[in-house]
Amino acid sequence: MLRLTVPSGVRFCDGYTRREVLQIGATGALGLSLPHLLRQRASATSRQRARARSVVILFLSGGPSHLDTFDMKPEAPEEIRGTFRPVRTKVPGLQICEHFPRTARLADKLVVIRSLHHTTGNHPAASYWMMTGSPIARPAPQSVTLSREDRPHLGSVLAKLLGPRRLGLPAYVTVPELISPVGPPRPGQHAGFLGAAYDPYRVESDPSLPGYTPGELRLAPDLDPGRLQARQTLLQAVNRQTSSLADNDAVAGFDPYFAQAFDLITSPTTQAAFDIEQEPVAVRDRYGRHTFGQSVLLARRLIEAGVRLVQVNWVRHDNGKGGQGYDSHRDHLAWCEKELFPPTDAAFAALLEDLEARGLLQETLVVLMGEFGRTPRFNNNGGRDHWPQCFTVVLAGGGLPGGVVYGASDRIGAFPTAQPVTPQDLFATIYHLLGLNCETLIYDQQGRPYHLAQGQPITALL
């Protein structure tokens, strides 16, 4: 009889070592189940050396055109390339759009990935994929709103596994509002099955306007600190009485959610971090006196104070504030030149400059992305339509090397031709930079395990 001998250090195709397989077989009768072993292993391998401590996501809602920004095709016919011209940067082989002049001067700080791709041109589903790292499981008619059945946003995962970098601050913040251009907030923007305790702190206010307010952080006029402390004491007593119901979802999320709320309201550090009026006029001008610019400036203040992840959303409302945003189905070139590119260039460049000047860029990963790209060819309205088959994501900081172009698209920017990258791979790379193993397990409300990411880190960038 042929016997297969496996050395103790060799891993099987499912990732388990011989020792672990024998452990399952030898101790199953004693109560060590496979899920228990998975938990043990995930706990032991969840942390590795972290290069990044914080993340800023600049989400260009609607889907920016890679062909008109960071993957231009100047040799293609005009119906493909448009009228924008590329400009050289200090990085050989990297040209970007003339309407990003400040970003061009910082090209040596950038990692430009030109080969992202996925399979959905639906805004809600694509946004979910790019914010959670996984395709949405719900069918299309149901996948347009937030749900506790969904996977958590990257920020919520970090809130659970790492928490804020400074006590008294939220771990995950969205500025200035959730993405909801035509109705309720789209899926993928909160903690999903992790529960309300790890939802983002939502500013829901435009920091570029005189009436900006950090929202719930401000005490009501009739609620002084003494009364607030009394309410906190009462809450603690209620929690002690209901501790026996900890397996109930509503109760389980109650204590950490409200405890965090009390910490935020009573923390001077938190109050100061959200107070954008403390910034000098010249700094505010450098970011741009518009919603996106001031939101990115607020993100920098929050990261500097100790927030783990801030997502800045490009505001757009069909027939309302922000208009079509980056979803430029009509008048694409004029809209990009006047409304989209100048604010994005100013805010992105100012953020990188400030993080570097403060010694924070190497420990802060900045991600500039949307849910997909735009079609290589213009439509009959002078717009570009949805194109998930190939698009660009730009990274900076977080321990990554600068001045790198990774991947390539074909001559019209339609499909990747080298080093294709999925959203799952992007998330695996981000988790690796943060010191988290993508095989680490998180659990939904029913105790079912999920890996952080199902892709592979981009080793060439690590």
For the chain of 462 residues, list the mean pLDDT of each consecutive stretch of 10. Answer: 37 42 39 46 61 98 98 96 96 95 98 98 97 93 90 98 93 97 94 96 96 72 54 54 48 51 71 95 98 98 97 94 96 98 98 98 98 98 98 98 97 98 98 96 96 96 95
| 32 in any annotated domain | no
Print the domain residue range for 194: 49-211+279-461
What is the spatial distance between Cα 359 and Cα 356, in angstroms, rounded to a whole number? Answer: 5
* End-to-end Cα spacing for the chain: 46
The verdict on 300 and 376 lying in the same domain is yes
Q: Which two tokens stand for residue 209?
A: 């306007």
The verdict on 184 and 283 lying in the same domain is yes
The verdict on 341 and 269 lying in the same domain is no
| 226 in any annotated domain | yes
How far out from the chain centre does Cα 321 lie? Answer: 23
What is the spatial distance between Cα 313 and Cα 460, in angstroms, rounded to a whole number? Answer: 29
What is the spatial distance between Cα 44 and Cα 19, in angstroms, rounded to a whole number? Answer: 15
| 7 in any annotated domain | no
Domain boundary among 247, 273, 299: 273
What is the spatial distance between Cα 123 and Cα 388, in angstroms, rounded to a whole number? Answer: 10
pLDDT value of residue 250: 43
The verdict on 219 and 350 lying in the same domain is no
pLDDT value of residue 168: 87
| 292 in any annotated domain | yes
How far out from the chain centre does Cα 225 lie? Answer: 35
Instruction: Give 422's Cβ-side CA count (13 Å radius).
Output: 15
- At 348, the amino acid letter reads F
The verdict on 130 and 169 lying in the same domain is yes
pLDDT value of residue 263: 65
Domain boundary among 256, 273, 290: 273
Q: Are strands 391-397 and 110-116 parallel, antiparallel or unpaired?
A: antiparallel
**DSSP state letter for 340:** I
The verdict on 267 and 295 lying in the same domain is no
Domain boundary among 233, 256, 273: 273
Beta bridge partners of 409: 416
| 81 in any annotated domain | yes
The verdict on 151 and 196 lying in the same domain is yes
pLDDT value of residue 93: 86
pLDDT value of residue 30: 38
The verdict on 244 and 316 lying in the same domain is no
pLDDT value of residue 262: 57
Instruction: Give 31's Cβ-side CA count (13 Å radius).
Output: 0
The verdict on 182 and 222 lying in the same domain is no
| 431 in any annotated domain | yes
Instruction: Quickly tell me which residue has 């959610």 as its tokens.
Output: 257
What is the spatial distance between Cα 182 and Cα 75, in angstroms, rounded to a whole number? Answer: 37
The verdict on 153 and 266 lying in the same domain is no
Domain count, the chain: 2
Supply the CATH number for residue 77's domain: 3.40.720.10
CB 63 within 8 A of CB 326: yes
| 27 in any annotated domain | no
CB 112 within 8 A of CB 94: yes
| 302 in any annotated domain | yes
The verdict on 234 and 310 lying in the same domain is no
* Number of CB atoms found within 10 A of residue 309's CB: 29
The verdict on 286 and 378 lying in the same domain is yes
Instruction: Give 406's Cβ-side CA count (13 Å radius).
Output: 24
Q: Which two tokens stand for residue 257?
A: 């959610």
